[in-house]
Structure 1
Amino acid sequence: MDTEAQDPVIRALSRLVPGAVAGRHLSRESGRRLGWVETGRAEPAVILVSGAGEVGLDWAVILPALAERTRVVAYDRAGLGASDPVARLTLDSQVRDLVALLDHVGPAVLVGHSWGGLLAELAALARPDRTRGVVLVDAFHEDTTTEVPLALRVSSNLVLNALPLLKAIGLFNRIAVNMGGELARRCTDDPGTQDLVTAAYLASYGTYGQVATIRAENRLANSCAREVRAARAASAVPDVPMRILTSTRGKPAALHQRSRELADRTAALFPRGVHHAVPDSGHYIHKDQPKAVVDAVFAVVAEADRRAP
């Protein structure tokens, strides 16, 4: 039996993307597997790095457009989707996995959303020779947490702490069906393909460990500030094309303002950094305003191609 053809994520993406979609994996320490899906052919590769607790499937809305003009890699971090868990989940373990993937498929443009944006930035600092460009999509910055209202922090923690329990008692799938269904509706109007995307989303969180990793990654984001600052201080910023996109709705006003200030600061660190606020977009810009993200990626790819030796 063709096991790849039976993989629900590959089945769903194959209905969305005109070209072939393949599953790949990289062996890491102790033989654990780091898995991803890959489609498209042109170089440089584009590596998509999802937000905290999210899987590669989260990029399904823009994957077809990106695959038309470049080779796209959408991976699952350790403990999520097609990737085995790591013995100890840390910021360093997540950056090292992304760097290993970059070494394997690169040189590449790194595209990261939210927590994935921070990981993409740190991987670019670690491997400037393998990084062709960077696109940060409403990226997490360690200094934003001070502006998150206490009530929002408390409610978020309550939800995150409840997720593994909901999985254990069989109620998590109700949440996943709604989230997967919303993703599916943003991808296509075809009911059959929508069903496949929803099923793929459910399969990506099929185990208790995968759901527990959602909580673990979000906790990591809330405790990494000192480690991130040390990594920034120890590294030189690569001279590569860079775009950072920020949302314009869905957050408290003070948090929006702080996010814009930090995005300006991050863009200024890169010699070719540009910050754009995307009109009428929430935190998931690649779903609310997918063309803005696709255009930013292609702009970075084109600039990287012009400067290639």
Structure 2
Amino acid sequence: MDTGAQDPVVTALSSLVSAGVIRRQLTRESGRRLRWVEAGSAGPAVVLISGAGEVGLDWAVVLPALAERSRVIAYDRAGLGASDPVSRLTLDSQVRDLVALLDSVGPAVLVGHSWGGLLAELAALARPDRTRGVVLVDPFHEDTTAEVPLALRVSSSVFLTALPLLKAIGLFNRVAANMGRELARRCTDDPGTQALVTQAYLASYATYTQVTTIRAENRLANACTPQVRAARAASAVPDVPMRILTATRGTPAALRQRSRDLADRTAALFPRGVHSVVPDSGHYIHKEQPAAVVDAVLAVLAEADAETP
């Protein structure tokens, strides 16, 4: 067992989780490492899947509460955090990594935010036998891309293009420090623990490769529609408990309504799908309204437990 004594993410999360957090990893092709952190022990595993360009630490606000009730796993995708980069980043490589993680940790409830929500869906389609339930937190849907206003698409493209330069001149680190401090503030009021969370966040984006992977994942999201549609057409939706949560602010009204409509459609595909709109929350529901996410995961866990012989 690797306790991750020198891992700043393990140190930070262990300061938030009373029973502590351990580091584990899976060896993939060519010896590359896929790292995750794990807390808790009861019930089926809960695998937390972050949004595009984000890391397992992004779940720090909800992970302690979930670890009290289940075995919780938060992983870094290839090229992000402590996971080694893949030779060629594709939608298929990301789904295969997630499926390999499920094969290693056992059947699990998949909890995905944004881009991670889409990956959770695709993994559930690919391996229904390893899926105990699904929770989608303001998930990305391939059909929203065309609805994004032109000005927002342009500004996002400019920012992504500039990321390597921002890293090189030090501006990215300032942005990351601010984001790390905000995450830490939402986790705890303790200044010492806040400092550990902030340091861990900065460590997750310390290298040039980590930053360029942010750009690569976001560009992948913008170009994945044909592959996602093919995957949906080729697979049946598993009959597992499912919850989908959507936000109420932070995007233009038309885009927000489109996201809700697509969430309704997604929930309807699952025999036990339930869509809930979370009041007073932006895209990062697990940070802004963490209780809503914890409640949704616990509801799915309860249904999954009830089905266990």
- TM-score tier by shorter-chain length is over 0.9
> Letter of the aligned partner of 2:239 in structure 1?
D
Alignment deviations for residues 176-220 of structure 1 (CA, whole Å, 9 cap, x no partner): 100000000000001111000000000000100000000000000
Unaligned runs of 5+ in 1: none
Q: CA deviation at 1:173?
A: 0.8
Alignment of 1:1-309 (within 5 A): 4-309=4-309
Mapped partners of 1:106, 1:259: distance in 2: 31
Question: Number of aligned pairs?
Answer: 308
Alignment deviations for residues 106-164 of structure 1 (CA, whole Å, 9 cap, x no partner): 21000000000000000000010110000000000000011110000101111111111
3-state secondary structure, aligned to 1:16: coil
Q: CA deviation at 1:37?
A: 0.3
Mapped partners of 1:127, 1:66: distance in 2: 23
> Letter of the aligned partner of 2:91 in structure 1?
L
Calculate the TM-score normalised by the size of structure 1: 0.98
Mapped partners of 1:138, 1:160: distance in 2: 21
Check whether the contact 2:48–2:73 (CA below 8 A) recurs between aligned residues. yes
Q: CA deviation at 1:307?
A: 1.1
Q: CA deviation at 1:3?
A: 7.9
Describe the shift of the 1:240–1:63 C-alpha distance in structure 2 as closer, same or farther (beyond 3 A). same
Mapped partners of 1:142, 1:253: distance in 2: 18
Q: CA deviation at 1:49?
A: 0.1
Mapped partners of 2:3, 2:66: distance in 1: 26
Q: CA deviation at 1:4?
A: 2.0
Mapped partners of 1:3, 1:56: distance in 2: 16
Check whether the contact 2:109–2:133 (CA below 8 A) recurs between aligned residues. yes
- The worse-fitting range, judged by mean Cα deviation, of 161-170 and 255-264 is 161-170
Mapped partners of 1:82, 1:266: distance in 2: 32
Identity, % of aligned pairs? 83
3-state secondary structure, aligned to 2:242: strand
> Letter of the aligned partner of 2:4 in structure 1?
E
Mapped partners of 2:144, 2:137: distance in 1: 15
Alignment deviations for residues 16-35 of structure 1 (CA, whole Å, 9 cap, x no partner): 01112000000000000000
> Letter of the aligned partner of 1:273 in structure 2?
G
Mapped partners of 2:3, 2:92: distance in 1: 32
3-state secondary structure, aligned to 1:238: coil
Mapped partners of 1:222, 1:32: distance in 2: 26
Alignment deviations for residues 35-56 of structure 1 (CA, whole Å, 9 cap, x no partner): 0000000120000000000000
> Letter of the aligned partner of 1:293 in structure 2?
V
Mapped partners of 2:48, 2:290: distance in 1: 14
3-state secondary structure, aligned to 1:199: helix
> Letter of the aligned partner of 2:129 in structure 1?
D
Q: CA deviation at 1:172?
A: 1.4
3-state secondary structure, aligned to 1:144: helix
Check whether the contact 2:13–2:20 (CA below 8 A) recurs between aligned residues. no
CA RMSD of aligned residues (A): 0.9
> Letter of the aligned partner of 1:202 in structure 2?
L
Check whether the contact 2:3–2:21 (CA below 8 A) recurs between aligned residues. no
Moved over 4 A (4+): none
Mapped partners of 1:168, 1:119: distance in 2: 30
Mapped partners of 2:184, 2:283: distance in 1: 18
Check whether the contact 2:184–2:195 (CA below 8 A) recurs between aligned residues. yes
Mapped partners of 1:303, 1:260: distance in 2: 24
Mapped partners of 1:106, 1:52: distance in 2: 24
